[in-house]
Amino acid sequence: MVEAMTFLHRAVFTDKAFPGPGTAADFFAGDAAMTVTQISRASLLQDATFGWDLVPLPSGPKGEYSVIGQAGLGVFKKSPNAAAAADFLAFFTNPANSAKLAAYFPPPRASQLTADTLAKSNPLLKPAQLQQVVIAGIEKGVVKPNHTGQAELSQTVRAALDPLWRPEADVKAVLTGVCAKIKPMLGT
């Protein structure tokens, strides 16, 4: 982690390859050379006036990987209008409406998780890109479990990383401080 964060720190403050802290750089407006994004944001590509590509996450020491998010809809059995809610859920997720939702999120239905479906809301992406990056990523991806106190943990990490975003930062010392701050939260 020290090596990775040193790389990022150097890219920001020495090489000027990444935007610095507080800089608003928008890939889709042409302000940045790279972004890590979700397919729902890729639809922000409005034209092809500059050369770009969509690629999967790079493989790491343990090979290729993909991390996917998830969302779900449900009906509480003991809710006062459970039957009406179940009917609405069935309507909302039927094949036709599920196809409409695919404009915003990759569909969970295997029959709709196709390059053709995704291309409707992402016309600038090639079918091969959609297949290789999005569809293959979903098919191979895993959902990582979250810590039960994820929001507090995330805020603590962000605050503890603040000293890193100065040119003279001692990366190893900052990361040691992050570990000290979160160790009690992790129960270790």
pLDDT per residue as tens digits for the range 134-173: 898 888 888 778 888 999 999 999 999 999 999 999 999 9
Is the per-residue pLDDT at 39 higher than 80? Answer: no
Cα separation, 90 vs 161, in Å, equals 45
What average pLDDT does range 111-137 have in this prediction?
88
Cβ-based neighbours of 78, under 8 Å, separated by 6 or more: none
pLDDT in tens, 144-154: 788 889 999 99
Identity of residue 120: K
Is the per-residue pLDDT at 79 higher than 70? Answer: yes
| pTM metric for this prediction | 0.67
Is the per-residue pLDDT at 34 higher than 80? Answer: no
Is the per-residue pLDDT at 101 higher than 70? Answer: yes
Cα separation, 65 vs 60, in Å, equals 8
Cα separation, 8 vs 73, in Å, equals 38
Provide the pLDDT for residue 98: 87
